[in-house]
Amino acid sequence: MQETIDKITRSFNAELEKASSVAELNELRVRYLGKNGVFTEVMKSLKDIAKEDKPFFGKLLNDARVKIEEVLQEKDKTAAKEEQRARLLAERIDITLPGVSAEAGSIHPLSKVKAEFAEIFTSLGFEIKEGPEVELDFFNFQLLNIPKDHPARDMQDTFYITDDVVLRTHTSPMQARVMLEQKPPIRVIIPGKVYRVDDDASHSPMFQQIEGLVVDKNISLCDLKGCLETVCKKLFSSKTKIRFRPSFFPFTEPSVEVDCSCPLCGGKGCRICKGTGWIEILGAGILNPKVLDNCGIDSSVYSGFAFGVGMERVAMIRYGIPDIRIFFENDIRFLKQYK
Ligand SMILES: [Zn+2]
């Protein structure tokens, strides 16, 4: 019996030498200590031994078994540690390598200015409306006090689609559409694209305007000035001043050109304001009573003001952009600056 136990121990030790993984050790455990393992078989042979010898050999067998169990447990721990170390090494990430960054887009400077206008005007209680870019002559001109053959049509070089249909030359036709639909008090802005036969560094055949319209009782030039000054201060800086110069538009009376103090030099004079300290920013005026009457609003009760701002013009001043055409070229190098 002693011999059998020694033989088992020797063969186990030899096999243990070769086993290194947790799986191999498990396999070894099953083969020696399992239900149908080597030890179970030897235990069975105890029954052939003389009764008085049984306790001695039983103990011997059990000691050998416990010893093997201990050795296996010890080696299990080492093997598990070793396997974990190997896995961590294989899965190692070099955090010093430069990352792969995704290209992020940026908002177009015109869209930024448009969003800013929308925020400023909605905070002043204005609604935002939009209208058709292909417009009837009737809305684009006639309701706004510019009948056919009126010399004022020469002020706007128009793309005609037919005799009665045009690409709108301004956002003002929406003034007429709003007044025909809505009863006063009215406070709306109308942003959108407009079209004129024009193409140079400061003019583009397509550009964007924001139209403003207010109709209520007792609206005066003071209301217009207060509104525009508030907007310019919010848009540029709290020190911005505005001034009115007399002008002419058929749909407003009186009409004004509005200048703001140059936001780039603060009024001292620079290249952008051509040394004057002022920048022309928009056209405005008190609604011509004829326009109100054309649109079914009683001009003896109501008055109003309107203005139109070129969005490109504001963005050019805001960002110091010298040529309007850059906005539409979609040059990535230009657009990337506005991230
Ligand atoms: Zn200036």
Q: 211 C-alpha to center of ligand 1: Å?
A: 25
Evaluated on CA atoms 50, 52, 53, 57, the torsion sign reads: positive
pLDDT of 53 above 90: no
Distance from the alpha carbon of residue 115 to the mean position of ligand 1, in angstroms: 25
302 vs 100, residue with greater confidence? 302
CA of 229 relative to ligand 1 center, distance in Å: 18
Share of the chain above pLDDT 90, in %: 45
Distance (Å) from CA 313 to ligand 1 centroid: 14
Query: Ligand 1 centroid vs 261 CA: distance in angstroms?
Result: 8
Distance 120 CA to ligand 1 centre (A): 24
pLDDT value of residue 10 = 86
CA gap 312, 208 in Å, rounded: 7
Measure 28 CA to ligand 1 centroid, in angstroms.
89
Q: Tokens for 60? A: 């011997």
CA 336 to centroid of ligand 1, rounded, Å: 26
- Give the containing element (helix H, strand E) for 246: strand 242-249
CA of 279 to the centre of ligand 1 (A): 8
Q: Distance from the CA of 267 to the center of ligand 1, in angstroms?
A: 6
pLDDT tens digits, one per residue of 114-168: 999 999 999 999 999 999 999 999 999 998 888 888 877 776 788 999 989 999 9
Q: How far apart are CA 6 and CA 328, in angstroms?
A: 92
Predicted pLDDT of residue 277: 92
- Rounded distance between C-alpha atoms, residue 89 and residue 29, angstroms: 28
Residue 325: both structure tokens together: 């055409």
Q: For position 155, what pLDDT does the model report? A: 66
Q: Give the bridge partners for 286, in sequence order.
A: 305
As a whole number of angstroms, the distance between CA 130 and CA 168 comes to 13
In sequence order, what are the beta bridge partners of 28?
Answer: none
For the stretch 267-300, pLDDT in tens is 898 887 889 999 999 999 999 999 999 999 999 9
In whole numbers, what is the pLDDT of the chain averaged over residues?
Answer: 89
284 CB-near residues (< 8 Å, 6+ apart): 212, 224, 228, 252, 255, 256, 258, 305, 306, 307, 308
> What DSSP string describes 177-231?
HHHHH-PSSEEEEEEEEEE-S--BTTB-SEEEEEEEEEEETT--HHHHHHHHHHH
Q: Cα(338) to centroid of ligand 1, in Å? A: 22
Q: Does residue 189 surpass a pLDDT of 90?
A: yes
What integer pLDDT is reported at residue 295 of this predicted model?
92
pLDDT digits (tens, 9 = 90+) for 213-252: 999 999 999 999 999 999 999 988 899 999 999 999 989 9
Contact 220, 286 (CB under 8 A): yes
Report the interhelical angle of 38-45 vs 54-90 (nearest 10°). 180
With bands split at pLDDT 50, 70 and 90, how would you rate the model's confidence at 336?
A: confident
Which of 73-82, 262-271, 301-310, 312-321 has maximum average pLDDT?
301-310
Which residue, 273, 140, 136, is CA-closest to 209?
Answer: 140
pTM over 0.85: no
Cis? peptide before 254, omega within 30° of 0 = yes
Ligand 1 center from residue 70 Cα (angstroms): 89
**What value does the mean pLDDT take over residues 40-64?**
82
Distance CA 262, CA 73 (A): 84
- CA 259 to ligand 1 centroid distance, Å: 12
Quote the ligand 1 centre to 192 CA distance (angstroms): 28
Nearest residue to 170 (alpha-carbon basis) of 151, 155, 182, 183: 155
Q: How far is the CA of 238 from the centre of ligand 1 (A)?
A: 16
Distance 270 CA to ligand 1 centre (A): 4
